[in-house]
A and B are shown apart, each in its own frame.
Chain A
């Protein structure tokens, strides 16, 4: 993986965007830089107002950066109007043309590129087949369901074979089941077409399911870029750890640092080897995070990393959630997957130990 040379499809270089002026000025993007590789499924993840949609709209050309460069395969496109960029968008509300049929919607981009008629109709058929909508070609867009509209929007944006496809929370209007199906469908389309996808979402599960890489954004900045596993297992900052999944935060003291790892002293006095973000050298008091499923409850507190009293045991079908009131006063959550052969049974009030998996602890930057 590391020895492969990645070609950049989109390079965002030190881009800032300020809306308004003077006292009411709002910095939507604050010196953002990111490289999006060719053929990857890249996700911009963050809460609403974090700047992810602004960045996407900037790549599409609907808004222009106050500062910085956006390069598409090396060419600076920051000042080009949207209709001169080989980039297409799937809009949040789909924005299908209501006065056109499904087929006419899909053909629109190709017609605007003045492609020959025969090529257009062939391509429209191909796209309809790709999104499995062939039977609805002559329907008006108001006559098809939300999920079908979603597929048409995808087909319309893919038809002109853009260099990059931008997706602006396209699944947010669908119900849960359909959203699940579309996640798999989107990933399939991306693999089949080999087009670079840039996907914007606030849904961490969506991001983890589909993405090759994720950029977590907050307040106009990119906090961490990495694969789903990097982001989930090794959050570099508190915001990333909190925003994605459930996390335990523990106060700890750094004892020694070596080889990108740190020995830290946990509350209760035990030592554990914690991982560090690249190039980060911590000292003194730090916060260590651990995912609930990367720890186990043991009956014998001796030799465990942490010890405390079980304050709650909740059975949720697939998992059992344990909450341990640590002696240091902090609370620690452990998640255990249920199976037919249950391990040791625990009850509220038991004194237990918590054992962390090797590499489960991660030192936060802040």
Chain B
């Protein structure tokens, strides 16, 4: 009897061991890709951020925290005293601020758009979605040049306004925060509309009728019924817009010029003309940290949302 049981146990153990081995083997390709594509490069950037810059780019393999200090502080080249790196801080600030503004503008413009599409008859919805996504499939450089064409001093808007006699001199729009905001709002608009649409499309519009029936005006129906129901879409869209906005490179480069840099441009500068790879690496890690904070905030919001949905 006892030998029988132990044989059975032995067999069960063997099956289980086999099972575990199979699981590792089957997940190996996925793990390999994650290691090669995500963890590996990140580890290199992390290591580089603690090295010394080489004179012609690249790095010198000596440990140094200088790059990390330089993210926030700068050493005076004459007296060697440390002071806050105003240039970096203003770029950080501009990045976060412009990304937040972009998120808010795309949300304000995207919500009515997504609502409009979600309330169209099923067949026409696809056409509207297609129209929204067309720019997304067009080269980013071309789209940005198009915006330049619109807002530069000799561009369409200024020309029209001057022809109409509304202004006497062109309004300076290029190379301003406004230009960057316009560009980013335009570029990231579909990323906001699509998740919002996905949420709105699932909303049972009979709930909206129920709201009207229970004396809620249109505004109150929006606030008390529609918005709570599409909150996951609002959060997803905001994350999808905010994170790539933070790291934008092409748009601020082409519309903001050299004086209105964002983090992406600053990082590129360090790896390019700046020849300070460790600083570029530490700035990248700082950018990553901001993104992580944003994602953590999202998890907290989404967690509360989940709690609401399931009690």
Give A residues with C-beta under 8 Å from B: 60-62, 81-84, 87-89, 91, 93, 95-99, 108-109, 112-113, 139-140, 142-143, 156-157, 160
Say whether B37 faces chain A, with CB atoms less than 8 Å apart: no
Looking at the complex, which one of A87, A112, A157 makes contact with B220 (CB distance below 8 Å)?
A: A112
Bound together, the chains give a CA A241 to CA B198 distance in angstroms of 49
Contacts of A82 in B (CB 8 A): 209, 212-213
Whether A108 contacts B308 in the complex (CB less than 8 A), given A91-B209, A95-B207, A99-B229, comes out as: no
Which single residue of chain B is at the shortest CB-CB distance from A156?
B214
Q: Are A95 and B210 in contact (CB under 8 A)?
A: yes
Q: Can you list the 5 inter-chain pairs with the closest CB atoms, starting with the nearest?
A: A109-B214, A95-B210, A112-B215, A82-B212, A140-B311
Which single residue of chain A is at the shortest CB-CB distance from B206?
A95
Q: How far is the CB of A76 from chain B (nearest CB, A)?
A: 19
Contacts of A83 in B (CB 8 A): 212-217
Say whether B225 faces chain A, with CB atoms less than 8 Å apart: yes
For chain B, the bracket of interface size reads 20 to 34
Whether A98 contacts B309 in the complex (CB less than 8 A), given A62-B209, A91-B209, A112-B220, comes out as: yes
Q: Are B220 and A99 in contact (CB under 8 A)?
A: no
Bound together, the chains give a CA A91 to CA B210 distance in angstroms of 8
Q: How far is the CB of A204 from chain B (nearest CB, A)?
A: 26
Say whether B228 faces chain A, with CB atoms less than 8 Å apart: yes
Which single residue of chain A is at the shortest CB-CB distance from B210?
A95
Q: How far is the CB of A247 from chain B (nearest CB, A)?
A: 37
Q: Are B229 and A88 in contact (CB under 8 A)?
A: no
Beyond contacts A87-B213, A89-B213: 11 other A-B pairs, Cβ-Cβ < 8 A, are A60-B213, A89-B209, A93-B204, A93-B206, A95-B206, A98-B207, A99-B229, A99-B308, A108-B211, A112-B215, A157-B213
Q: List 15 A-B contacts (CB under 8 A).
A: A61-B213, A62-B212, A62-B213, A82-B213, A83-B214, A87-B213, A88-B213, A89-B209, A91-B209, A95-B209, A97-B210, A99-B229, A112-B215, A143-B311, A160-B214
Bound together, the chains give a CA A91 to CA B209 distance in angstroms of 9
Bound together, the chains give a CA A140 to CA B207 distance in angstroms of 15
Bound together, the chains give a CA A227 to CA B64 distance in angstroms of 94
Q: Are B311 and A89 in contact (CB under 8 A)?
A: no
Contacts of B163 in A (CB 8 A): none
Bound together, the chains give a CA A89 to CA B217 distance in angstroms of 16
Contacts of A88 in B (CB 8 A): 213-214
Looking at the complex, which one of B212, B215, B220, B225 makes contact with A97 (CB distance below 8 Å)?
A: B225
Contact residues, B217-235 vs A (CB, 8 A) = 217, 220, 224-225, 228-229
Contacts of A160 in B (CB 8 A): 214-215
Contacts of A97 in B (CB 8 A): 207, 210-211, 225
Contact residues, B47-77 vs A (CB, 8 A) = none
Q: Are B216 and A112 in contact (CB under 8 A)?
A: yes
Contacts of A109 in B (CB 8 A): 214-215
Contact with A along B296-311 (1 / 0, CB 8 A): 0000000000001111
Bound together, the chains give a CA A98 to CA B216 distance in angstroms of 17
Contacts of A98 in B (CB 8 A): 207, 229, 309
Bound together, the chains give a CA A82 to CA B309 distance in angstroms of 28
Bound together, the chains give a CA A157 to CA B217 distance in angstroms of 17
Bound together, the chains give a CA A160 to CA B213 distance in angstroms of 11
Q: Are B210 and A99 in contact (CB under 8 A)?
A: no
